Amino acid sequence: MKTRTILIDFVAVLAFSLAATAQETTRKTTGVYLTAADYEAGRLSFEGDSKSKGHKLEMHDVRNKPYIDVTHDSAKQRYAKSDLFGYRAKDGRDYRFVGNLE
């Protein structure tokens, strides 16, 4: 009976450890993919911590503007959505631009 309890405890600790490791490896950076080749290689341009004050992506999707604003190292630049392949949002998901929409 003791062996079974120890085994169950061990499995529970292992499961929680794996879950914590999975959360730590979740993407915490944002940036833009300039080309499809960059996307395939996982190479983000203007990559930065999504929680940093000096880094921000503004999609302007409410008004469907044809550009995005990228603030990286506190310098703000504007890029046409048609010139970019896509971006990684702060939720860790990758999006592709098609026309002026994600």
Model pLDDT, residue 25? 47
Model pLDDT, residue 19? 45
Q: Which mean pLDDT values do the consecutive 10-residue runs of the chain (102 residues) have?
A: 55 46 60 96 92 86 85 90 93 87 70
Model pLDDT, residue 79? 93
Q: Nearest to residue 27, comparing CAs of 83, 91, 70?
A: 91
Model pLDDT, residue 36? 95
102 and 61 in contact (C-beta within 8 Å)? Answer: yes
64 and 101 in contact (C-beta within 8 Å)? Answer: yes
Residue 32 token pair = 């833009």
Rounded Cα distance between 93 and 81, Å, is 17
